[in-house]
């Protein structure tokens, strides 16, 4: 099992260490909800995810449900009717204590990807933020 938590620690979770599917999502819904250009997520059996704490749930569409920490607002999980019928849910990979444990295998939807993503590796990189944290 992999362990994860949100920024404030009010919600912690365990999830299987293997995902049925893992992807980087570029859709505008994910971008707007997360404030990030992409979100890495892993699809795992819902019954195998153990959550401690009480995430809040936001109905982001007619079928979509996004869970987040009510204390710090950080995103956690996603589900919708097709995933629920399969007994699955999505976990945000970056919320894992070891996000390298589940590498994305695909990217989608490419049509909604922000243009500069293809060159994100080009600007100079720093070991730490040059302006502080």
CATH of residue 54: 2.170.150.70
Confidence of residue 133 (pLDDT cuts 50, 70, 90): low
Structural domain span for residue 106: 2-114
pLDDT the model gives residue 122: 92
> What six digits make up the tokens of 69?
């920490």
Please say if the pLDDT value at position 85 is more than 70: yes
3-state DSSP assignment of residue 115: helix
In a domain, 79, yes or no: yes
Please provide residue 128's backbone torsions phi and psi, each rounded to the nearest 5 degrees: -135, 160
Whether the predicted pLDDT of 132 surpasses 80: no
75 contacts 30 by C-beta, under 8 angstroms:
no
Q: Is residue 122 part of a domain?
A: no
Per-residue pLDDT at 84: 95
Average pLDDT score over the chain: 93
State how many domains the chain has. Answer: 1
Asked whether 54 and 48 are in contact (CB, 8 A), the reply is: no
Q: 78 lies in a domain?
A: yes
Domain membership of residue 40 (yes or no) is yes
What confidence tens digit (pLDDT) does each residue in 91-119 have? Answer: 999 999 999 999 999 999 999 999 999 99
């Amino acid at each position: 099992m992999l362990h994860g938590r949100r920024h404030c620690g009010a919600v912690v979770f365990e999830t299987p260490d293997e995902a049925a599917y893992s992807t980087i999502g570029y859709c505008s819904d994910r971008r707007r909800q997360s404030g990030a250009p992409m979100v890495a997520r892993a699809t795992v059996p819902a019954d195998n995810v153990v959550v401690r704490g009480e995430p809040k749930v936001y109905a982001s569409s007619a079928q979509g449900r996004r869970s987040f920490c009510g204390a710090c607002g950080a995103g956690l999980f996603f589900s919708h009717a097709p995933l629920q019928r399969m007994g699955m849910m999505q976990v945000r990979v970056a919320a894992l204590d070891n996000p390298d444990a589940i590498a994305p295998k695909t990217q989608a939807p490419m049509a909604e990807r922000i243009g500069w993503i293809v060159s994100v590796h080009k600007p100079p990189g720093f070991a730490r933020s040059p302006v502080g944290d």
